[in-house]
Amino acid sequence: MKRILIIDDAATVRMYYRSILEEGGYHVVEAVNGIEAMEKALQGSFDLYIVDINMPKQDGYGFLTDLRSREELHQTPALMVSTEAKPTDRKRAYVCGANLYLLKPVKPEELLVNTRILLGEVQR
């Protein structure tokens, strides 16, 4: 079973993503910020990271930059999901290492399809 780490400071968002992804057959782990997420990433392997931008302690940009700098973790796909809609936000996400950038709110089908694409389970 593929493992996904959801990184978002909003409990309702994590619960929403968890319900969609678990129904889709994935094992889900949660973190409330980039620091907690990195601790979990270093303790066990994940197949995908779903990352929010705006979080306390360490934001999504910082987490992705840290993730991509680590040899053992830098290849794992990352899906950034945010309310930040400016082109500069999207560009910064990709520069920091996001594989895909989606705007909130994300529909269940959109989350599942893009998860499957990033995990190599379906073709674009």
pLDDT in tens, 8-33: 999 999 999 999 999 999 999 999 99
What's the predicted TM-score (pTM) here? 0.95
Coil, strand or helix at 80: strand
Cα 51 to Cα 22, 58, 123, distances in angstroms:
17, 11, 22
Q: Are 4 and 27 in contact (CB under 8 A)?
A: yes
* Confidence band, pLDDT 50/70/90 cuts, at residue 72: confident
Q: Report yes or no: 63 and 37 within 8 Å, Cβ to Cβ.
A: yes
For the record, the structure tokens of 46 come out as 């994940």
Q: What is the pLDDT of residues 77-98, one digit of tens each?
A: 999 999 988 999 999 999 999 9
Fold annotation for 3-118: Rossmann fold (3.40.50)
Q: Tell me how far apart the alpha carbons of residues 52 and 114 are, in angstroms, rounded to a whole number.
A: 15
SS3 for 53? Answer: coil
Contact 102, 79 (CB under 8 A): yes
Spatial separation of the C-alpha atoms in residues 124 and 68, rounded to whole Å: 24
